[in-house]
């Protein structure tokens, strides 16, 4: 059974019964555990998010073939917020309060969409598993951050580039909260390491931006002034395709000005000619090229599910894989899908990742994971050129910003605080920072 077939089967069966005048009994309606999938299937973010929707359907189907959860089948509830941040909030509320009330939501990509959903899941006491790298400076009792925090991606990437002799930094991002906050952290970090203001260039562009000629020309000029220069990219969505195309058009190779990206993976590269991009980099916690039995099994399952021998996997897919299995284990330990029980039972849960190791859920609702730097190959894959010796625990609050360097998050009883000042031992704001 592939993709939406499970959803279609349930929907068609219910429709048939209703057309015959047979009402579904309340008990039957409660015979499934509903899993919300909130990813854009249209708009500028569809290039990245639609794959995550398909992956979640595959994981749910596989779990049902194993017998489901707590003796019940899992039922996916799929919505398309169409890359509209306000729609994410509306549809999250529908999922948590509507007829198809879900027990958990797996979704979102951008921080703008996550921040739109955050007050909804807190107000309705829902659970959101968020699978994408983000800027930190936030903590919610109702969100589990399975993507990378800045200390699990951005900071190690800059450290790696410094070790390669980079002295000038072009920080290019899409104009929303994730790139702006990440670059704020990176600017502080770079200046702490002696980088002058004149050696840092910052530029933001709208979602879906396509006219990169003048900006790439500025970067080219910025990098021609006698110091080794790199681009740190927090460009999101389909704007990456014309960006990399323009780099190639202007003859900028990785040996001239290397780019390290935080939002470009195998899925994004599958849409462009990667030949001219060989040697440019990405920082993630997983690459499809990782050599492990768990990874090979996952790839085989994905190829079989999609029916596409060229189907690729990427880091946010691994984050959903980890998050989904953590949720399953927490529900089993709690013996219920009750949100409060799951929030307590999931802390400390450890599950296999796809790199051959394991990841654990920390008290701050972030997970442990390795960090890797990969170079783009001409086949659209990444060759891992550097990785941490072990797992790195995600940090909700950056050590490099004065306003957050004394803050931690700990959602265990009795603290249950997302913004704990360790100097004063006072809980400043459990809902996180804006």
Q: 272-323: per-residue pLDDT in tens?
A: 788 878 999 999 999 999 999 999 999 999 999 999 999 999 999 999 999 9
How high is the pLDDT of residue 272? Answer: 74
Q: 384-403: per-residue pLDDT in tens?
A: 999 999 999 999 999 999 99
Question: Which domains are seen in the chain, by residue range?
Answer: 5-148+292-369 (3.40.50.2300), 151-290+372-393 (3.40.50.2300)
How high is the pLDDT of residue 238? Answer: 84
Residue 270 clears pLDDT 50, i.e. is over it: yes
Q: 150-167: per-residue pLDDT in tens?
A: 999 999 999 999 999 999
Looking at the DSSP bridge assignments, the partners of residue 143 are: 128
Is the pTM higher than 0.85? The answer reads: yes
Mean pLDDT to the nearest integer, 358-376: 98
The Cα–Cα gap between 236 and 2 comes to: 29
The Cα–Cα gap between 52 and 108 comes to: 10
DSSP string over 5-63: HHHHHHHHHHHHHHHTT-PPPHHHHTSEEEEEEE--SSSTTHHHHHHHHHHHHHHHHHH
Instruction: Give ∠ CA 39-43-45 in degrees, rounded to 5.
Output: 55
Per-residue CA distances from 110 to 85, 131, 237 (Å) = 9, 10, 9
DSSP secondary-structure letter at 234?
E
Hey, how many other C-beta atoms are within 10 angstroms of the C-beta on 429?
A: 13
334's tokens? 């709690």
433 or 288, greater pLDDT: 288
DSSP secondary-structure letter at 388?
-
Closest CA to 367 of 349, 354, 355, 342: 349
Looking at the DSSP bridge assignments, the partners of residue 382 are: 376
How high is the pLDDT of residue 18? Answer: 38
């Amino acid at each position: 059974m592939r993709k939406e077939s499970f959803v279609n089967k349930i929907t068609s069966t219910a429709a048939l019964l209703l057309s015959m005048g047979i009402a579904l009994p309340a008990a039957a309606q409660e015979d499934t555990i509903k899993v919300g999938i909130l990813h854009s299937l249209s708009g500028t973010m569809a290039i990245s998010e639609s794959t995550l929707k398909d992956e979640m359907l595959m994981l749910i189907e596989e779990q049902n073939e194993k017998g489901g959860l707590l003796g019940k089948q899992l039922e996916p509830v799929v919505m398309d917020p169409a890359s509209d941040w306000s729609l994410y909030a509306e549809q999250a509320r529908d999922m948590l309060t509507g007829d198809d009330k879900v027990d958990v939501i797996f979704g979102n990509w951008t921080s703008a969409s996550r921040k739109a959903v955050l007050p909804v899941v807190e107000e309705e006491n829902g659970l959101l598993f968020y699978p994408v790298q983000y800027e930190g400076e936030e903590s919610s009792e109702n969100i589990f951050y399975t993507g990378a925090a800045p200390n699990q991606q951005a900071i190690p990437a800059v450290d790696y580039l410094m070790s390669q002799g980079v002295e000038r930094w072009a920080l290019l991002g899409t104009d929303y909260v994730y790139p702006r906050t990440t670059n704020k952290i990176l600017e502080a970090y770079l200046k702490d390491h002696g980088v002058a203001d004149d050696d840092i260039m910052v530029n933001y562009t709208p979602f879906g931006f396509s006219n990169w000629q003048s900006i790439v020309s500025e970067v080219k000029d910025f990098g021609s002034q006698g110091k080794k220069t790199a681009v740190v990219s927090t460009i999101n969505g389909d704007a990456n395709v014309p960006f990399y195309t323009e780099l190639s058009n202007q003859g900028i190779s990785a040996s001239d000005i290397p780019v390290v990206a935080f939002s470009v993976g195998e899925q994004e590269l599958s849409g462009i000619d990667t030949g001219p991009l060989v040697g440019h980099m990405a920082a993630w916690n997983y690459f499809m090229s990782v050599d492990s039995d768990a990874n090979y099994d996952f790839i085989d399952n994905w190829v079989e599910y999609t029916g596409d021998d060229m189907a690729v996997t990427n880091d946010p897919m691994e984050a959903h894989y980890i998050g989904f299995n953590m949720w399953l284990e927490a529900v089993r330990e709690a013996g219920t899908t009750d949100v409060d029980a799951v929030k307590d039972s999931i802390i400390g849960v450890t599950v296999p990742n796809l790199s051959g190791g394991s990841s654990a859920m920390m008290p701050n609702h972030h997970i442990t994971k390795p960090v890797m730097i990969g170079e783009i190959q001409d086949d659209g894959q990444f060759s891992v050129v550097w990785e941490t010796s072990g797992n790195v625990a995600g940090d909700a609050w950056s050590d490099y910003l004065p306003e957050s360097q004394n803050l931690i998050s700990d959602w265990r009883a009795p603290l249950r605080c997302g913004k704990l000042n360790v100097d004063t031992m006072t809980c400043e704001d459990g809902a996180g920072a804006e």
